[in-house]
Structure 1
Amino acid sequence: MNDYELQQEDRRIELRMYKVRWIWYHTILGIELFAVFVVLLGIYLKL
């Protein structure tokens, strides 16, 4: 493998890692948003 092919492979790995991190990050944000919604709904129903 020459230097160009190694750089391309590294770039593909970086993009794959970025996609995985993006998915996990937004999944966690969605779960947190749902938790906040449940807490606020609970507060609203108590009033």
Structure 2
Amino acid sequence: TLFTFTVTRTGDTTGQTTVDYATTASAVDGVNGDDFVDILNNPVSG
């Protein structure tokens, strides 16, 4: 299943930042790292 999420940053955007995220699954098979790739099918790290 494809999905899109948006991260919005406000305030002082000149410094580094990190983003933490989590997923939960309701399907029988759940989710794993193979479910998260960019538009070129490269793994997304997080």
TM-score between both structures, scaled by the size of structure 1 = 0.17
Larger RCO of the pair (alpha carbons < 8 Å, separation 6+)? 2
Q: Give the greater-gyration-radius structure (CA).
A: 1
TM-score between both structures, scaled by the size of structure 2 = 0.17
